[in-house]
Amino acid sequence: MSKVPDSLKPFLKEVSASLREKTYQKLILSRPLSNNEQVPTKVTVRPVLIQEEIHYQWVERVGPRELHQNLSADQLIQRVPSILGTLLGDARLFTSEAEICARYKGRGHFQMHRAKSQSLGSEPEAHNREKNYIIPPNEPCPFLAKAGIMSADGRVKAPMYHKFRQINRYLELIRDLKGTLQKPGSLRVVDYGCGKSYLTFALHHYLTVVEQRSVEMTGLDQRPDVIATCTAIADELQLTGLDFRVGQIVDLPIEGKIDLAVSLHACDTATDEALAAAVLREAQVIVAVPCCQHELRPQIRGESLSGLWKHGILAERFAADVTDALRALWLEQQGYQVQVIEFIELEHTPKNLAIRAVRVAKPSRESIRLAKERSQALKELCGITTTWLDRWDEQQVSAK
């Protein structure tokens, strides 16, 4: 390792002292000093408990990927000056007493600034800006224990804290919409592409335990082994009103209207299938978190967009954003009020957008017309001829 600049040493002493005195909460390194795509854009370092010992989880974002490594305190002290001032130019250290910033000004010189602490909390890996989780830590929750996220006594396992936060954020999205789900009686809920069903079980827990609602809830997935596992867990935990079925999203019949349709991380056009199935069943509320979006990437063309194609990561992100924008506009054409919002912080996952839609009782013709015009204009700008949802619409018209 090259010699540490004298102007950086005070900051490293602050890091070392916070580790020694147990006041350390989080370190963020950012501001790439080059345009090299292999250079990390951000590093976040949090304390984690591993076998009752504190380590420091180094999470390095390079393009769409995250690289994780657990370091000792000594390894962290050695790692920081190897990247700060060479690859990244800004550092922010959060402790229980202060927030200390170091900024690289060039030619080996760093400028340091100290401010009063805005405490993130003292528990390793918690760093909880949301003061009240819907499912609180340190309280036993059977489905989380069965999923390996909590211990039997309610402690969240350090490597699974990101999943614990994701589950709670998901439930916040649902809670924000509960005013639209006030009908009497049981709620009809469908999870399209439920997978291992962390979030299916979480939603069932929220609706039945937290909100004290009766539910008729179905998880759908095409993999028989996954459905068998989920069914066994539901039976073991004696979860009433919850069943799992094997089948394709658009082919499996679900009779009657749906109150709440969800689809979390359904890959590529499976998200479109879930949206179409939910609209077909006149779902009152739809919440979808898309995963990979590859359908439109080969179609997007146009001289005005040629600058994007020089960099694959920009083209990929742009195609994903266009895909989700067209999905939102399609839902508006079906008579829904739509929001596209952050699902979970980008530092946890690059798949961080959620589409949240509420069915409008009497949508105006003007709003539907405007959504169609905006959708067509966006497709023309990008050279897109058709989408999965366009083709599904055509099939519905032909079937009538």
pLDDT attached to residue 344: 61
Listed ranges 111-120, 135-144, 324-333; the one with the highest mean pLDDT: 324-333
pLDDT attached to residue 232: 93
Q: Evaluate if residue 73 carries a pLDDT over 70.
A: yes
Which range is least confidently modeled, 214-223, 233-242, 249-258? 249-258
Q: Could you tell me the pLDDT band of residue 51, with boundaries at 50, 70 and 90?
A: low
Q: Which of 194, 188, 233 is nearest to 214 (CA)?
A: 188
Q: Could you tell me the pLDDT band of residue 330, with boundaries at 50, 70 and 90?
A: very high
pLDDT tens string 338-352: 998 877 644 444 456
Per the model's pLDDT, the better-predicted residue between 358 and 66 turns out to be 358
Return the domain boundaries, the chain: 6-116, 142-399
Query: To which H or E segment does residue 147 belong?
Result: none
pLDDT attached to residue 300: 81
Q: Evaluate if residue 323 carries a pLDDT over 70.
A: yes
pLDDT attached to residue 178: 80
Query: To which H or E segment does residue 102 belong?
Result: strand 98-106
Q: What is the number of helices (H) and of strands (E) in the chain?
A: 10, 14
Q: Evaluate if residue 20 carries a pLDDT over 90.
A: no
Q: Where are the alpha helices (DSSP H) in the chain?
A: 9-20, 73-83, 142-146, 161-175, 198-205, 224-236, 270-280, 312-333, 365-382, 388-399
Which range is least confidently modeled, 172-176, 235-239, 395-399? 395-399
- The DSSP-derived string for 295-340 is SSTTT---GGGGGGGGSHHHHHHHHHHHHHHHHHHHHHHTTEEEEE
Q: Evaluate if residue 325 carries a pLDDT over 80.
A: yes
Question: How far is it, in rounded angstroms, from Cα 60 to Cα 67?
Answer: 5
pLDDT attached to residue 239: 93
Strand pairing report for 88-95 and 24-32: antiparallel
CB 260 within 8 A of CB 235: no
Class (C level, CATH) for 142-399: alpha beta
Q: Evaluate if residue 56 carries a pLDDT over 60.
A: yes
- Neighbour tally for 377: CB within 10 Å: 11
Q: Evaluate if residue 120 carries a pLDDT over 70.
A: no
User: What's the average model confidence in pLDDT over 42-59?
Assistant: 82
Q: Evaluate if residue 254 carries a pLDDT over 80.
A: no
Question: How far is it, in rounded angstroms, from Cα 123 to Cα 100?
Answer: 20
* Encoded tokens for 356: 């949240």
Q: Could you tell me the pLDDT band of residue 217, with boundaries at 50, 70 and 90?
A: very high
Percent of the chain surpassing pLDDT 70: 90
Q: Evaluate if residue 121 carries a pLDDT over 80.
A: no
Q: Could you tell me the pLDDT band of residue 262, with boundaries at 50, 70 and 90?
A: very high
pLDDT attached to residue 349: 43
For residue 386, the number of C-alpha atoms closer than 13 Å in the C-beta half-sphere is 6
Q: Which of 168, 132, 171 is nearest to 150 (CA)?
A: 168
Residues 328-362 as b/e (b if ≥16 CB within 10 A, e otherwise) read bbbbbbbbbebeeeebbeebbbebebbbbbbbeee
User: What's the average model confidence in pLDDT over 353-359?
Assistant: 91
Which range is least confidently modeled, 52-56, 113-117, 253-257? 113-117
Q: Which of 95, 102, 90 is nearest to 20 (CA)?
A: 95
Give long-range contacts, CB 8 A cutoff, 24+ apart: 71-75. 71/45, 73/19, 73/20
Per the model's pLDDT, the better-predicted residue between 290 and 326 turns out to be 326
Q: Which of 286, 388, 293 is nearest to 350 (CA)?
A: 293
Q: Evaluate if residue 3 carries a pLDDT over 90.
A: no
pLDDT attached to residue 334: 95
pLDDT tens string 276-321: 999 999 999 999 988 777 788 888 877 777 777 777 778 888 888 9
pLDDT tens string 373-388: 999 999 998 989 999 9
- pTM (whole model) above 0.85: no
Q: Which of 198, 79, 196, 203 is nearest to 134 (CA)?
A: 203
